[in-house]
Amino acid sequence: MIALNENEFLAPGFVDAHIHAPQFKNAGMHLDKPLLEWLQNYTFPLEDRFKDVEYAERTYPHVIKSTLSKGSTTTAYFGSIHKDACLVLADEAEVQGQRAFVGKTNMDTNNLADYYKDESSQQSLNDTLDFVHRMSDMKLTEAIITPRFALSCSMGLMKRLGLISKQFGLAVQSHINENQTEVKVARDMFPDCKDYLGVYEDAGLLGPRSLLAHSIFTTDDEYKRMASTGTSVIHCPDSNIQLMSGLFNGQKVESFGVNIGLGTDVGASGMDGIVQQIRMAEMVSKITAISQSESKIHTTYRDSYHWATLGGARALGIDHIVGSLEIGKRFDAIIADLSSMPAIYVEDETPEVKFERFIRTGSEKHIKSVIVDGHYRIIN
């Protein structure tokens, strides 16, 4: 039995639905360029280091420990293109007890950096299939199909990945409409597709377990088609600001019936904790509302908290298992302790007010314990 004191509360564990594990070394660094130049100059050189499995073995234990300590009981990781390094990431998540979706990133067409184009289409497929098979017996960790984005994958590869996702019942993760230049390049690369979403649509990559990150410049028609297929959008508020990509309009997205999850998107963000991203999501929405004179409706911390829990679980197709503390679900939770805050803040406050105080002013140091699949561990 776990007994809570008057300044502690139990809450569902967070779902970080979009994070790049090999980018942790660059977390919050080198943010002086827009997306495509940032990838070419900083991100791809770092990810290329993971062809050295020993480097992955030194790096990934820290990644899992850090995200888990901040309350991310479920996490959707992008790996690098290197199968063996991605298996290290999956094994480490399993050992430390994090419910993780791990993707071996697919990139057979990379016009941004020739040196990080180490896989042919066939090798990419073979490695993906081997990766899926080798992860099939894991308890908490599951493979997720991961075409990086349309700019780095051929249509032939993406169609085959779509078939693999259906054959094995796997979730799919990628990026969409993050940056205006990226959108233009995608249209130029795939002129026969209706739009950026149409690339994934034609490849058979959309569906109830498809997660598309960012979605800043998505059109109304694209949102309607996302909703009709059950595809989710993953909002990465800090990353969108740091790379100066744009402002995400969550109110608009939800008006189309599209599910939203929340992601840290490290390393474009320096914050691998979801609590800060919840606050950022509300702030971004308020900034968007201020700029729209006809409306001051905005996302509240309650909305973004929902995205960070049940929304992310729904995106991954596991909302019947986690995402809330309903009876019958797996026990994934955090215990937060506000005792270290000055007494004037927490004395005589209702549990609801204490929860809001944690979301608005708390940090990972207030997360005392994390529980994944019923297994309790003390963090701080």
Which residue ranges form the domains of the chain, and what is each CATH number? 14-316 (3.20.20.140)
What's the first-to-final CA gap in the chain, in angstroms?
19
Distance CA 307, CA 53 (A): 34
Q: pTM for this structure? A: 0.96
Distance CA 263, CA 201 (A): 23
Q: Which residue has the tokens 């109110």?
A: 251
pLDDT confidence of residue 115: 65
Cβ partners under 8 Å of residue 255, min gap 6: none
Q: Report which DSSP code applies to 41.
A: I
Alpha helices (runs of H) in 5-148, residue ranges in sequence order: 35-38, 44-48, 53-69, 83-96, 121-135
Query: Which residue, 120, 113, 127, is CA-closest to 41?
Result: 113
Distance CA 378, CA 380 (A): 6
Two structure tokens written together for 62 = 């820290």
Distance CA 70, CA 266 (A): 14
C-beta contacts of 180-185 below 8 A and 24+ residues apart:
180/217, 180/246, 181/34, 181/35, 181/36, 182/35, 182/36, 182/149, 182/151, 183/217, 185/36, 185/151
For residue 357, how many other CB atoms are within 10 A of its CB?
17
Burial class (CB in 10 A: 0-12, 13-18, 19+), 9: middle
For residue 343, how many other CB atoms are within 10 A of its CB?
9
Distance CA 378, CA 374 (A): 13
pLDDT along the chain (380 residues), means of 10: 84 97 91 88 92 97 96 98 97 97 93 71 96 96 97 96 98 97 95 97 98 98 98 97 94 95 95 94 90 74 96 98 97 92 75 88 90 88
Distance CA 241, CA 51 (A): 30
Cβ partners under 8 Å of residue 367, min gap 6: 69, 70, 71, 334, 335, 336, 379, 380
Burial class (CB in 10 A: 0-12, 13-18, 19+), 133: exposed
Distance CA 6, CA 8 (A): 6
Angle at 206 between CA 202 and CA 212, to 5 degrees: 115
Two structure tokens written together for 267 = 């390393």
